[in-house]
Chains A and B, each alone.
Chain A
Amino acid sequence: AQKVTQAQTEISVVEKEDVTLDCVYETRDTTYYLFWYKQPPSGELVFLIRRNSFDEQNEISGRYSWNFQKSTSSFNFTITASQVVDSAVYFCALSPPRNAGNMLTFGGGTRLMVKP
Chain B
Amino acid sequence: DAMVIQNPRYQVTQFGKPVTLSCSQTLNHNVMYWYQQKSSQAPKLLFHYYDKDFNNEADTPDNFQSRRPNTSFCFLDIRSPGLGDAAMYLCATSTPPGPLNEQFFGPGTRLTVL
CB interface residues, B 44-84, toward A, < 8 Å: 45, 48, 50, 53, 55
Interface presence of B31 (CB below 8 A):
yes
The interface size of chain A toward B, counting residues with CB under 8 Å, comes to 25
Q: Tell me if A's interface is mostly helix, strand, loop or mixed.
A: loop
Interface presence of A35 (CB below 8 A):
yes
B interface residue count range (under 10 / 10 to 19 / 20 to 34 / 35 or more): 20 to 34
CB neighbours (8 Å) of A106 from chain B are 42-43
Decide: A108 near B107, CB < 8 A? Known: A100-B53, A102-B97.
no
Instruction: Find A104's partner among B4, B96, B100, B103 (CB 8 Å cutoff).
Output: B103
Question: In whole angstroms, how far apart are the Cα atoms of A42 and B94 in the complex?
Answer: 21
CB interface residues, B 80-111, toward A, < 8 Å: 88, 90, 92, 94, 96-108, 110
Question: In whole angstroms, how far apart are the Cα atoms of A44 and B90 in the complex?
Answer: 8
> Are the C-beta atoms of A109 and B42 separated by less than 8 Å?
yes
Q: What's the least CB distance linking A76 to chain B, in Å?
A: 18
Instruction: Find A42's partner among B100, B102, B107 (CB 8 Å cutoff).
Output: B107
Interface segment, one of A14-22, A60-68, A91-99: A91-99
> Are the C-beta atoms of A45 and B101 separated by less than 8 Å?
no
Interface string of A74-102 (1 = CB under 8 A from B): 00000000000000000100010111111
> Are the C-beta atoms of A107 and B102 separated by less than 8 Å?
no
CB neighbours (8 Å) of B97 from chain A are 95, 97-99, 101-102
10 A-B pairs with least C-beta separation: A106-B42, A45-B105, A43-B108, A44-B107, A102-B97, A101-B48, A102-B101, A100-B50, A101-B31, A47-B102
A–B pairs, 21, beta carbons within 8 Å: A43-B90, A43-B107, A43-B108, A44-B105, A44-B106, A45-B92, A47-B103, A47-B104, A50-B102, A91-B43, A97-B97, A100-B48, A100-B53, A101-B48, A101-B55, A102-B31, A102-B94, A104-B45, A107-B42, A108-B42, A109-B40
Given A50-B101, A97-B97, 19 more A-B residue pairs with CB atoms under 8 Å apart are A33-B101, A42-B107, A43-B88, A43-B108, A45-B43, A45-B105, A47-B103, A50-B102, A98-B97, A99-B97, A100-B48, A100-B50, A100-B55, A102-B94, A104-B45, A107-B42, A108-B42, A109-B40, A109-B42
